[in-house]
Amino acid sequence: MTKKSIGFYTAVSIVIANMIGTGVFTSIGFQVLGLHSVFTLLFLWLVGGVVALCGALCYSELAAALPRSGGEYNYLSKIYHPAVGFLSGWVSMTVGFAAPVALSAMLLGGYVSKVFPEVNSTWLAVGVIILLAIIHSVSLKTGSRFQNVFTTLKIVLILFIIISGFILPAHQAIQIIPDKSALSEIASSSFVISLFWVSYSYSGWNASTYIAGDIESPAKNVPRSLFVGTFFVAVLYILLNFIFLYTTPMSAMAGQKEVGYIAANYIFGKMGGQMISLIIALLLVSSVSSMTIAGPRVAQVMGEDNSLLRYLSIKNKSLIPYAAIIFQSVISIILIITSTFEQVLIYVGFTLNIFTFLTVLGLIIYRIKHPEVPRPYKTWGYPFTPIIFLAVTLWILCYGLVEKPFESMVGIATVLSGLLVYFLGKKTK
């Protein structure tokens, strides 16, 4: 049995690091293409934060009642059927973590190349993934310390940008009070498409559920880490995006990925902007690191349950699933080499929303089917909390199918391909 050496602070830092990555330093550049009201843009991030908190509260009850590593794989297997759980694990194992790792590494390379154009951003991204795979294959304690340090530095940087944006004199003339145009934008298709990007930016709020088996007192610490981490990030996101809008013209950010670099140029000047860009690149290492910790635990659990994937459960002397770490890292590297940033983001965002929807719906089903199960934590605001999450997530999924059919259908195909692996593994078990 794995020694539980992940405490509450590390669990919170993993949630925060999983959430704060590519999304918040990228999304607003694409949102301002269709939305121009400051109120609408900030409301967008508020809605995303409320939905993420609702999801975290729902997952907290399931995590306390079913404290095993694996996240949705664990919950859906018990609530619906092992095949449904396997499909969620299959998505997590193949793209759910590997794709965000690729996105974070790609953005990291982009920030560095803004300062040093001669650096090959692709190979830098690949090198970071390989380095972190080695670090997290050596020791869980070393990996935890590494994670805590980099997550703390990331929070300090974001707070520094927020405070500097308020203090320094140069700023844009913005209108926060909503008018008729703002209300019409909220009802527009651009708002829902932008909510798709925000949903991805908030993804990771469920990160500690994937490593519940390695967390001390999981029934207590997993729910606490989910709520504290998600609430904290939601506040940071709203403040940081306000600073982006307060300091930087929308026209300068429109269609750009490296929004942090652009805003830093307006806040600190060219030299300061380059320094901040390099610091953001360095701290994106935290995002890659956290997902290198969490993701392989899903593959490990699946390898323990499915004979076709048994090799993914192999551990080293430190009881770390190094084979699963290697597997995830290889997929991330393939995505970096073969795909564009936007394609990967939309594809993984749509696919992950399918299973967060099923998991929160499963909370309601599990309460009805198994009222006798001990629940150390119960979802606050039930049943309204899961209903809010389900309604908004279903809205996003429907628009994803309509507006981005190719990426959405590829996501569905990825899910269905897992059925073949599941039944082949079951037959050879």
DSSP string, 279-316: HHHHHHHHHHHHHHHHHHHHHHHHHHH-GGGGGGG---
User: What is the DSSP code string of 142-175?
Assistant: HHHHHHHHHHHHHHHHHHHHHHHHHHSS------
Written as six digits, the tokens of 185 are 């934008």
| Residue showing tokens 């953005």 | 107
What whole-number distance in Å separates Cα of residue 73 and Cα of residue 296? 13
The 3-class SS string of 353-408 reads HHHHHHHHHHHHHHHHHCCCCCCCCCCCCCCHHHHHHHHHHHHHHHHHHHHCHHHH
Cα radius of gyration rounded to whole Å, the chain: 21
The DSSP secondary structure of 221-269, one letter per residue, reads: HHHHHHHHHHHHHHHHHHHHHHHHHHHS-HHHHTT-S-HHHHHHHHHHH
Dihedral sign of CA atoms 117, 119, 123, 124 in order: negative
Decide: 54 and 385 in contact? Cβ < 8 Å: yes
Contacts of the segment 171-175: beta carbons below 8 A, 24+ positions apart: 171/246, 171/247, 172/245, 172/246, 172/247, 172/248, 172/249, 174/38, 174/245, 174/246, 175/37, 175/38, 175/39
Question: Helices (H), strands (E): how many in the chain?
Answer: 17, 0
For residue 13, CA distances in Å to 47, 105, 131, 341, 363 come to: 23, 19, 20, 25, 25
Q: What's the pLDDT score for residue 364?
A: 95
* CA 135 and chain centroid, separation: 21
pLDDT at 5: 64
**Residue 9 token pair:** 């602070």
Per-residue model confidence (pLDDT) at position 1: 38
The answer to whether 176 and 39 are in contact (CB under 8 A) is yes
Q: From first to last of its 429 residues, what are the pLDDT tens digits of the chain?
A: 345 567 888 888 878 877 887 778 888 888 988 888 899 999 999 999 999 999 999 998 998 888 776 778 888 989 999 889 889 888 877 888 888 888 889 888 888 988 888 888 889 999 999 998 888 887 666 666 766 777 788 788 888 889 988 887 667 777 788 778 888 888 887 888 888 788 888 988 888 887 777 788 877 888 888 889 999 999 999 999 999 999 899 989 988 888 888 888 888 888 888 888 888 888 788 778 878 877 787 788 778 877 788 888 888 877 788 888 999 999 999 988 887 777 777 788 888 889 999 999 999 999 999 998 888 888 989 999 999 999 999 988 888 888 788 888 888 998 888 888 888 876 554
Looking at residue 141, what is its pLDDT? 67
DSSP 215: B
What CA–CA distance (Å, rounded) separates 70 from 408? 24
Walk me through the domains of the chain, giving residue ranges and CATH numbers: 8-427 (1.20.1740.10)
H/E stretch holding 202 reads: helix 189-202
* pTM of this structure: 0.80
Nearest-angstrom CA–CA distance, 59 and 329: 27
pLDDT score at 338: 83
How big is the CA angle at 84 (ends 87 and 373), to the nearest 5 degrees? 130
Cα–Cα distance measured from residue 240 to residue 163, given in angstroms and rounded to the nearest whole number: 10
Closest to 120 (Cα-Cα) out of 132, 133, 106: 106
Residue 278 burial (C-beta neighbours within 10 Å; 0-12, 13-18, 19+): middle
Dihedral of CA 295/297/298/299: which sign? positive
Nearest of 85, 87, 399, 352 to residue 202 by alpha carbon: 352
